[in-house]
Structure 1
Amino acid sequence: MKNHLLPICLLLVGCMPGAMPDQASRAAQPAAMSTLPPLKSFARPTPARPGRSNADIARDFLELAFRLESGRDLPVLTRFEEPISIRVTGAAPPTLLPDLSKLVYRLNTEARLKVTLTSSPDANITVQAVSRAQIRKALPHAACFVVPNITDISQYRAARRSSKANWGLLRKRNKMAVFVPNDAAPQEVRDCLHEELAQAIGPLNDLYRLPDSVFNDDNIHTVLTGFDMLILRAYYAPELQNGMTRRQVAARLPAILARLNPAGEAIPARRPLPTPRSYIRAIQTALGPGSSYTQRRAAAREALNVSQALGFQDHRRAFAHYAMGRLLAASDPEAALGHFQAADRFYAASNHTSLHRAYVASQLAAHALSQGDANGTLAIVNRAIPVASRNENAALLATLMMLRAEALTLSGRASEASTVRLDSLGWARYGFGADWAVRAKMREIGALNPLKG
């Protein structure tokens, strides 16, 4: 289940946390109705190969495959018998099928799975496009979700009261339903496809300790990474079978990973500490829906306290600082800046967190722009823009480009600024959706420019 965490690249310094309107109306507009440049999309993925040891990846695999996000253990491995067929039902937005086709191609070429698209009602996986209101009615805190043994969202309530939707009782996978929003921005729909199909096909758990994966509830990575493709490929290795226990899989996993990822054999294991439920709950409260501002701040402080007490020096410590910075941005900008700078320092210590730093860069650049520091803003965003593009994050890319345009304006390079701003709009349409949302983002960033504010 993809959780409703506050979109971490949408709110900049000076904006009230959680003050953005309901995203349900951020759906993309038909081209004929839009007055902005054509919507852009990423042509070719460039995922990096996993750069961690096979010993650590084996541990990650076992925790992903044999545990639910709730922390409940699963007794056996379950998967589909290939080939896997996928169909689309409901009122699908125009970007859904192209993005799904790209994902299916990647699953075939990178994860080496046999996945096909079909219109048959007998498909293994049904992707149903429904409204966000329907999704919230079923699961209030979910942006999208996957359920076994049903094909339509109307069947969910009854299935939930029975054993049909109980993952712990599965012994193999036959049918799955993935529910995605049809009235959200194209990027959100695509992100849901990546995360929910990955869980429909493979592991069900998320781990906050993973720096390079969509199997992480921090929502930093939103398209399947090289690590994720390796996990899915190992999940369907011929050495594994439905019904195998954790111990049986653990015995075969080292040889599987040595065959699929020989470079990982030479990398020393790091064995990062597990993430306690107290940290997970704190982050979900700090950035999720349904809590007051005071409760969010207390939760972010709790996440920081937990990470400090456990001696975390990785992206989890950084993310706690980032969450605190986000929540302090309106009431105490200088304290917020300190937390963003701390987050950047922790992220900078790892080779696996360049995308994380790009998110923080949007906050640091916004602050530099608001202080009239055009050169500092440009230095920050110029490093982050290629990272956002390489990771196919149009919302972040558009935000950084708009910041760059304002910094160019501030430095007297008006013609160059106009070109960058115009180029950002196609990415913004994919990342934010409707014209009003794109224009709101432009106004928000423009207001940071001292020449306009």
Structure 2
Amino acid sequence: MRKAHIASLAVAALAALSACEQVSPPPSTGGGGPVVAPPSVEPSAESLAYARYYAGVQQRLLTQGLLRTDGGGPDTPIIARNLVANFERIALYNEYTLSGGRFVAQQTPATLRRWERPVRLQAHFGASVPEDTRDRDRAELARYADRLSGATGHSIRAVGSGGNFHVLYLNRDEQRAAGPLLRRIMPNISEGTIREITSLPRHEFCAVYSISNADAPNVYVSAIAFVRTEHPDLLRRSCVHEEVAQGLGLPNDSPVARPSIFNDDEEFALLTTHDEMLLRMLYDSRLRPGMTPDEARPTLQVLADGLLGGPS
């Protein structure tokens, strides 16, 4: 089992999305973003089966002592050399690559990528999502935006309209019908990417697509994250935490990163202290978009030593 972190499109999909500047805001629908059409009256049998499946997955992981929400503790010490190594693997490699018009899992070296303009997170809901659940999701997204802004020192906040980082909360039925919504919030999106999002299979829990312009391929200007509403609460929050953080410029996973959500072992459900350090390093002014691992490594060591009080 794993979540999907569909590759950053900053480099991999420039041919399809190189014209994506900051998109015009979609029409307002009362502060919550557009609702996917056609509206769902009742979830399909497939969507109900998804909900049962994800409920079972969450319970199984919790029974195994996974999906921790404590952020790490005495059992997960963080040392500088590991922090540098984890940063290199998570920030300076891609998890997915574009091949034959489709995204395939393949670890490939990359350069440092991040946002330069302010990040504005906007939630979009399928019609199946009750209003009280939308309110909880908006509140969670706003709290998380504040935490990310504090960790990075970058301007990040949740908005009701005019966003450039779109978080879609959809069930399986609405996922299939999301093409019109995707074209509305991102007019230059490719048909291939729409197919990827609308057909993402059940074993892919959630996904994020970060997008840049051809003239600045290492600077993100927009993003789309997809979160399944069939998830029970903790898996839903976990998807939001991981995909939004990845969409800021940490696109890969590492099997040795700990304590971290950027590890497919699912030990941690929510952003950890270690992950906040990675974000702080990523947005430090001593690094710049486009740096290679060799160029970044000396500065990364300085940053890690500073965060941890000296070499370790």
**Structure-1-length-normalised TM-score:** 0.43
Equivalent residue for 1:131? 171
Q: CA deviation at 1:51?
A: 2.2
Alpha-carbon distance between aligned partners in 1 of 2:235 and 2:72, rounded to the nearest angstrom: 22
Partner AA of 2:49 in structure 1: D
Report the 3-state secondary structure (helix = DSSP H, G, I; strand = E; otherwise coil) of the residue aligned with 2:286: coil
Give 1:336's aligned residue. none
**CA contact 2:91–2:249 (8 Å) conserved in 1:** yes
Instruction: Give CA-to-partner distance per residue, 1:199-257, whole Å, 9 cap, x none.
Output: 00121111111231000011121100000010011010111111111211112111111
Distance 1:47 1:218 in 2: 15
Measured in 2, the distance between the counterparts of 1:239 and 1:57 equals: 17
Quote the Cα distance in structure 2 between the aligned partners of 1:64 and 1:187.
Answer: 23
Q: Distance in 2 between matches of 1:75 and 1:142?
A: 23
Kindly provide the amino acid, as one letter, of the partner of residue 78 in structure 1. Answer: R
Task: Give per-residue Cα distances to partners, 1:140-186, cap 9 Å, x unaligned.
Answer: 13111001349xxxxxxxxxxxxx9x9xx942111000011123322
Question: 1:60, CA displacement in angstroms?
Answer: 1.1
Give 1:46 deviation, angstroms.
5.5
For residue 156 of structure 2, the aligned residue among 110, 115, 128 is 115
**Runs of 5+ consecutive residues of structure 1 not aligned to the other structure:** 5-20, 29-44, 151-163, 268-453
Which amino acid is 2:200 matched to? L
Give TM-score scaled by structure 2 length: 0.61
Name the CA distance, whole Å, in 2 between partners of 1:22 and 1:248. 48
**CA gap 1:240/1:205 in 2 versus in 1, 3 angstroms:** same
Residues 74 and 176 of structure 1, relative CA distance in 2, 3 Å threshold: farther
Question: 1:206-285 maps to which residues of 2 (within 5 A)?
Answer: 206-262=253-309, 265=311, 267=312
- Output aligned runs, 1:53-452, within 5 Å: 53-69=79-95, 70-91=105-126, 93-94=133-134, 95-121=136-162, 123-133=163-173, 134=175, 137-140=198-201, 141-149=203-211, 170-262=217-309, 265=311, 267=312
Q: Provide the residue aligned with 2:78 in structure 1.
A: 52
- Is contact 1:27–1:182 with CA below 8 Å preserved after alignment? no
Contact 2:152 2:284 in 1 (8 A): no
* Cα distance, 1:3 vs structure 2: 4.3
Judged with a 3 Å threshold, the aligned counterparts in structure 2 of structure 1 residues 243 and 148 are, in CA distance, closer, same or farther, namely: same
- Look up the match of 2:3: 2
Which of the pair has more CA radius of gyration?
A: 1
CA RMSD of aligned residues (A): 3.0
Contact 1:24–1:132 (CA<8 Å) still a contact in 2? Answer: no
1:22 aligned residue (49, 60, 65): 49
* Residue 272 of structure 1: aligned partner: none
Question: Structure 1 CA distance, aligned partners of 2:112 and 2:158?
Answer: 25
Counterpart-to-counterpart distance in 1, 2:219 and 2:284: 15
Aligned-residue identity in percent:
25
Q: Is the 8 A contact 2:93 2:111 kept in 1?
A: no
Deviations 1:106-126 (A, max 9, x none): 2133444421111233x2310
Question: 1:234 & 1:110 partners in 2: Cα distance?
Answer: 9
More strand as a share of residues: 2
AA matched with 1:174: V
Cα distance change on mapping 1:48 and 1:216 into 2, 3 Å:
closer
How many aligned residue pairs are there? 216
Structure having the larger proportion of residues in helix: 1
Task: Tell me if the contact between 1:100 and 1:190 (Cα under 8 Å) persists in the aligned partners.
Answer: no
Shift of 1:74: 3.5
> Which segments of 5 or more consecutive residues in structure 2 lack a partner in the other structure?
6-47, 56-68, 96-104, 177-196
| Larger RCO (CA within 8 A; separation ≥ 6) | 2
